[in-house]
Chains A and B, each alone.
Chain A
Amino acid sequence: MNKINYFLVALLGLSFSFASAQTPKGSVLIKNATVLTVTKGTLQNTDVLVQDGIIKKVGANLSAPAGVETVDATGKYLMPGIIDAHSHVGLDVVNEATSPITSEVQMKDVVNPTEIGIYRALAGGVTVSHAMHGSANVIGGQNATLKHRWGTKNPNDIIMMDAPRTIKFALGENPTRVHGRGNGIQPRSRMGVEAVIRNGFNEAIQYQKAWADYNSASAQKGNTATAPKYNERLQTLADILDGKIIIHCHSYRADEIYMLINVARDFNISKLVFQHTNEGFKVAPEIAKYTMGASVFADWWAYKFEVYYSTAFNAAILNANGAITSINSDSAELIRHLYHEAAKTQRYGGMTDDESLAMITINPARQLGISELVGSIEEGKQGDLVIFDSHPLSVYTVPQMTFVDGVKYFDIKEDKNDQRLTVSPTEMVEDVYLHQQTERCMQDTEHLFEMAGTLFNQN
């Protein structure tokens, strides 16, 4: 845009912010807190200054620049915003369960920034969540990494635009049940799951070649080349092969985890994270060597056959073997107290404070490819911060304030009874879900099953 256009824009009062939307950036000075940096130890009586969304300074006796608000955190604890590497909060659609591969589907298309679960997550100190496609397909849709900027109705405002692309894979019972038993197509078994992945990648290689051939041929004079069919599904798989997308794979059993490691090695894929990974402890050295680690539950299992062989020591064992390990929620309820979930690794595995906290901050950040931006309190990182009234790994702790990019989105003192962003004009009482559907990995697939969901927990 040249100068004259800028002038016209200003003159006509037009805004071009829709194209290059700026999300709010705040400034705040948090004084005298016990700062849990996670990567650089614990600093007593320390101040943290955030300016225009970025952590400018961590130190003692900082003073607030003009116009910057000061928060007195004496006696309180400050930690980096919690990151949930597995969530379905803020999505209108979770599963496009109709095909074994739906890599063309994008969760960014169906983000709903007004879902109340986002505010509840903020109230639990969670500033970033990984809004994933469900686990009905071997290769599901592309996920969205969200920053919990509550208050906007524009999905683009909560999508973390500087996060890399990620995609959902799923192994084992869910995809074989939906497609094999439900629809009578491949995959019906774990072997079929592997075949679907390998065939998909091989087709993607052929697809890439077809386009490369066409592009070079059509540059020649007098050529008779015709364009191949466009196929975003294969293009996305090709992007995975090119290292542009991080795989996040729903998995439970050690054999299938090891299977995918081998498939990834055969196709030279190194950007791979395992999700759930209940038997990860059996293949922890392999996960550590070949992948970006595992994102696990603290202590959740036995909800179906493939998750019987589980242990609460899983995270500690993975961590001890050098695998990047995070604790996730996969639940709109657990997401509100991930700090409790992280604390369980101290009870089961005796992890240090920093190791435990890393599992809900810097480790998930590394698995999402955003550890340069968030996940610890360091100068130059984005100002995603949470203030707790006592140590966040204490069972008595209560989050007080949550900041994203230096903007305060949750304050327990300003927490209204009704935080909804949208209210129906025709419903006096809207649906409230208290117990049911605490996890949504298999949401939108109900109609594909002949048997009711009661037989199987569909996690």
Chain B
Amino acid sequence: MKRTLLKASVICMMLGGWMISSVGFAQSDPTGKKRITSSYAITNATVFTEPGKAGVKSTILIQDGVIAGVGTNLSIPKEAKLIAGDSLFIYPGFIDGASSAGITKPKDPERPENFVSSNPPDEIAGITPWRSAVDQFAMDSKVEDLRKSGFTVLQIVPEGGMIAGKAAIVVLGHETSSNLIKENTALAASFRGSRGMYPGTAAGVMAKFRDVYKNAELTKINSDKYSSVSGVKRPAIDDTFLGMKEVISKSTPVMFSASSELEIRRALKLQKELGFNLILTDLENYEGVIPEMKSAGVKILIKAEVPEDKAIKAQKEDASEDVKAQYARVKESFDKAIAQAGKLEVAGIPFSFTTVGVKSGDIGKSLKTMIDNGLSETAALAALTTNPAAMMGLSRELGTIEKGKMANLVLTTDTLFKEDSQIKHVIADGYLFDYEIKAKKKAAEAGNETKGIKIAGNWDYITESPAGSGAGVVSIKKEGNDYVGTITYDDPAGSGKATAPIKDVKLDGSSLSFAFDVNAEGMAIVVEISGTVNGVSLDGTMSVGQFGSFPFEATLTPSLTAKL
């Protein structure tokens, strides 16, 4: 089985043009990237060792990826790199209960010549329990975005059909390390049918799931008999059976993607009939089934996202009574949706988060919304740390800041859920990752800084993404107190440039943000750009829906600046 996890290191070695026989004992490092020490001491920081515990001024010592000590009287070895933590707040590294970051969907296998859509081979019909997320994973910009948001460990979930394959747990350490913690941690399943073949709908998927499960059980009985009694017909051992073996023996749980109450009930129904261990993931709408989930004793991963408030904001004052009554229902539904996580806490259900389909840059804001609507900060932190660790059976090595645990930490500029708190460093697997801290937004109050900044004009920009570099022009015009304009970009539908109006242009101090809509193959994507203006240059990031965020640099064309 190939391991794309290791691919990065192989590529690095090839680029270096070196044949290194033993990476561990390499004598020199011509790339200059090798770190000087694997010991760190973060001194005198406010440390929150676990959810519910108050912050205590302590020093954390890290050696070779492990927390070597937490306290005030540690003897710090000479080789330790010191990080002054006086103004920092330290939390256990976040754990993502289910993630699709870094996952590339494997190519669909070619249809055989005698393909019959009513009876397709398992692999083509999306039944691939033998596949592993490990083979689909690579550290990419989406993974880096998650780490930037504080995540240090991910349960990666493979992409695919109704039974996509096995999840695995990885730490977001150095790109050249083998970052695998545990394989075959769950079987990813969904109610997604295959297009144009059996099973095509949720009804077909449920029937087929029962079929796959029960036949795996029968094959198990037959092969047990085969190995103990002579003269028994050879059992039909196939890839699907091999992939289901640990599921029917209940050592691997099924992780069912179920976003709505009806889907949750369907997954619970299958679990009750077949008896597998169940993890429910991708939960978006679940308030009405909390008692059922609790009595079934299933594990729960809710989406680290709250609904958009666009519909709420679009409500108009001068609407008719009928329309106002409808507004009220939408508002009520919205208020309920953002209070759901708090309801899980009240019900005493320990839950974790999934980031599948979630924009990593918005996670912090979404969690704050949940906290503002009934979820305690302690429960929110537990959902990011101790709960997923326990769910994964990894409480011994993950979830809290304790001597002997994996060195996974989040270092913030203020207490975690405070409005202006920012992540300054993340330590994952003992590797230190530094992040830029933006100046606090005092500008809005003073308004002076904004006055000195001119953004109207034509900006030439360049971006870098895995698809290559892109370039274009952003034209910004002032209209009254607002800004409007357009952006040109490489047309995703083919060659040439496309133009789109930009929206939500906001200038706050020196930080500029705006967005525009792209239509790529029928999918509407919102591209958001934010950055800092410094004279005539703009340095920022472009975030493309769920696809990740990429560097964005722009320069204001001088001629037009002069005119305005």
Q: How far is the CA of A231 from the CA of B215 in the complex (A)?
A: 8
Known A-B contacts A426-B307, A428-B330; the reply to A105 vs B203 at CB < 8 A is: yes
Q: Which segment, of B193-201, B476-484, B492-500, faces chain A?
A: B193-201
Known A-B contacts A104-B211, A153-B261, A426-B310; the reply to A226 vs B222 at CB < 8 A is: yes
Residues of B within 8 A of A93 (CB): 201-204
B231 touches A (CB below 8 Å): yes
Known A-B contacts A98-B200, A109-B206; the reply to A424 vs B225 at CB < 8 A is: no
A22 touches B (CB below 8 Å): no
Q: Which segment, of B14-22, B115-123, B399-407, B414-422, faces chain A?
A: B115-123
Are the CB atoms of B207 and A104 closer together than 8 Å? yes
Within 8 A of A (CB), among B284-310: 288, 291-292, 295, 307-308, 310
Q: How far is the CA of A429 from the CA of B204 in the complex (A)?
A: 31
Q: How big is the B interface, by class?
A: 35 or more
A154 touches B (CB below 8 Å): yes
Are the CB atoms of B262 and A92 closer together than 8 Å? yes
Q: Which residue of A lies closest to B265 (CB)?
A: A155
Within 8 A of A (CB), among B305-330: 307-308, 310-311, 314-315, 322, 325-327, 329-330
Q: Which residue of B lies closest to A236 (CB)?
A: B207
Are the CB atoms of B330 and A96 closer together than 8 Å? no
Q: Looking at the assembled complex, report how far the CB atom of B311 sits from the nearest CB atom of chain A, in whole angstroms.
A: 5
Are the CB atoms of A226 and B233 closer together than 8 Å? yes
Are the CB atoms of A428 and B314 closer together than 8 Å? yes
Tally A-B pairs: CB < 8 A.
139
B250 touches A (CB below 8 Å): no
Q: Looking at the assembled complex, report how far the CB atom of B301 sits from the nearest CB atom of chain A, in whole angstroms.
A: 20
Residues of B within 8 A of A230 (CB): 211, 214-215, 218
Q: Which segment, of A244-252, A393-401, A404-412, A415-423, faces chain B?
A: A415-423
Q: How far is the CA of A309 from the CA of B315 in the complex (A)?
A: 54
- What 1/0 mask marks residues of chain A from 167 to 187 whose CB sits below 8 Å from any chain B CB? 000000000000100010100
Are the CB atoms of A417 and B334 closer together than 8 Å? no
Partner of B233, one of A224, A417, A428: A224
B536 touches A (CB below 8 Å): no
A438 touches B (CB below 8 Å): no
- What 1/0 mask marks residues of chain B from 316 to 353 whose CB sits below 8 Å from any chain A CB? 00000010011101101110110000000000000000
Are the CB atoms of B329 and A98 closer together than 8 Å? no
Are the CB atoms of B311 and A154 closer together than 8 Å? no
Within 8 A of A (CB), among B210-237: 210-211, 214-215, 218, 221-222, 225-226, 229-233, 235
- Specify the main secondary structure of chain A where it touches its partner: loop
A447 touches B (CB below 8 Å): yes
A36 touches B (CB below 8 Å): no
Are the CB atoms of B207 and A99 closer together than 8 Å? no
Q: Looking at the assembled complex, report how far the CB atom of A423 sits from the nearest CB atom of chain B, in whole angstroms.
A: 4
Q: How far is the CA of A330 from the CA of B524 in the complex (A)?
A: 36
B269 touches A (CB below 8 Å): yes
A74 touches B (CB below 8 Å): no
Q: How far is the CA of A418 from the CA of B330 in the complex (A)?
A: 12
Are the CB atoms of B117 and A183 closer together than 8 Å? yes
Within 8 A of A (CB), among B175-210: 195-204, 206-207, 210
Known A-B contacts A226-B232, A444-B200; the reply to A425 vs B215 at CB < 8 A is: no
Residues of A within 8 A of B201 (CB): 93, 95-96, 110, 444
Are the CB atoms of B117 and A417 closer together than 8 Å? no
B365 touches A (CB below 8 Å): no
B503 touches A (CB below 8 Å): no
A342 touches B (CB below 8 Å): no
B266 touches A (CB below 8 Å): yes
Residues of A within 8 A of B221 (CB): 227
A232 touches B (CB below 8 Å): yes
Q: How far is the CA of A193 from the CA of B441 in the complex (A)?
A: 72
Are the CB atoms of B117 and A98 closer together than 8 Å? yes
Q: Looking at the assembled complex, report how far the CB atom of A103 sits from the nearest CB atom of chain B, in whole angstroms.
A: 9
Residues of B within 8 A of A145 (CB): none
Q: How far is the CA of A93 from the CA of B199 in the complex (A)?
A: 12
Q: Looking at the assembled complex, report how far the CB atom of A242 sits from the nearest CB atom of chain B, in whole angstroms.
A: 20
Q: How far is the CA of A277 from the CA of B204 in the complex (A)?
A: 28
Known A-B contacts A106-B203, A425-B330, A425-B333; the reply to A185 vs B291 at CB < 8 A is: no
Q: Looking at the assembled complex, report how far the CB atom of B323 sits from the nearest CB atom of chain A, in whole angstroms.
A: 9
Residues of A within 8 A of B310 (CB): 426
Known A-B contacts A96-B198, A226-B233; the reply to A424 vs B333 at CB < 8 A is: yes
Residues of A within 8 A of B336 (CB): 425
Residues of B within 8 A of A109 (CB): 202-203, 206-207, 266, 269
Q: Looking at the assembled complex, report how far the CB atom of A221 sits from the nearest CB atom of chain B, in whole angstroms.
A: 11
Residues of B within 8 A of A155 (CB): 262, 265
Residues of A within 8 A of B200 (CB): 96-98, 444
Q: Which residue of B lies closest to A154 (CB)?
A: B265
Q: How far is the CA of A428 from the CA of B325 in the complex (A)?
A: 11
A375 touches B (CB below 8 Å): no
Are the CB atoms of A110 and B198 closer together than 8 Å? no
Q: Which residue of A lies closest to B312 (CB)?
A: A425
A14 touches B (CB below 8 Å): yes
A128 touches B (CB below 8 Å): no
Most chain A CB atoms below 10 A, which of B203, B218, B307: B203
Within 8 A of B (CB), among A214-261: 222, 224, 226-227, 229-232
Q: Looking at the assembled complex, report how far the CB atom of A444 sits from the nearest CB atom of chain B, in whole angstroms.
A: 6
A7 touches B (CB below 8 Å): no
Q: Looking at the assembled complex, report how far the CB atom of B271 sits from the nearest CB atom of chain A, in whole angstroms.
A: 13
- What 1/0 mask marks residues of chain A from 65 to 104 whose CB sits below 8 Å from any chain B CB? 0000000000000000000000000001101111110101
Q: Which residue of B lies closest to A218 (CB)?
A: B225
Residues of A within 8 A of B215 (CB): 229-230
A141 touches B (CB below 8 Å): yes
Are the CB atoms of A232 and B207 closer together than 8 Å? yes
Most chain B CB atoms below 10 A, which of A110, A112, A429, A444: A110
Residues of A within 8 A of B327 (CB): 428
Within 8 A of B (CB), among A147-162: 153-155
Known A-B contacts A18-B295, A425-B334; the reply to A183 vs B118 at CB < 8 A is: yes
Residues of A within 8 A of B196 (CB): 98, 447-448
A427 touches B (CB below 8 Å): yes
Most chain A CB atoms below 10 A, which of B118, B265, B307, B327: B118
Q: Looking at the assembled complex, report how far the CB atom of A258 sits from the nearest CB atom of chain B, in whole angstroms.
A: 27
Are the CB atoms of A224 and B231 closer together than 8 Å? yes
Q: Which residue of A lies closest to B314 (CB)?
A: A428
Q: How far is the CA of A218 from the CA of B33 in the complex (A)?
A: 66
Are the CB atoms of A226 and B235 closer together than 8 Å? yes
Q: Which residue of B lies closest to A444 (CB)?
A: B201
Residues of B within 8 A of A232 (CB): 207, 210-211
A5 touches B (CB below 8 Å): no
Residues of B within 8 A of A424 (CB): 311, 330, 333
Residues of A within 8 A of B230 (CB): 224
- Please provide the 6 A-B residue pairs with the shortest distance between their CB atoms, ordered closest to farther: A99-B118, A425-B334, A98-B198, A96-B204, A425-B333, A104-B207
For the complex with contacts A110-B266, A183-B118, A418-B325, 18 further pairs of A-B residues with Cβ separation under 8 Å are A15-B291, A15-B295, A18-B295, A96-B207, A98-B198, A102-B204, A105-B206, A106-B206, A110-B203, A224-B229, A226-B233, A229-B218, A230-B214, A422-B333, A423-B329, A426-B310, A427-B311, A444-B201
Identify the A interface with B (CB < 8 A): 14-15, 18, 92-93, 95-100, 102, 104-107, 109-110, 112, 141, 153-155, 179, 183, 185, 222, 224, 226-227, 229-232, 417-418, 420, 422-429, 444, 447-448
Could you list 21 A-B pairs, sorted by A, with CB under 8 Å?
Answer: A92-B262, A100-B118, A102-B204, A106-B206, A107-B203, A109-B202, A110-B201, A183-B117, A224-B232, A224-B233, A227-B221, A230-B218, A231-B211, A232-B207, A232-B211, A417-B325, A418-B325, A423-B329, A423-B330, A426-B334, A444-B201
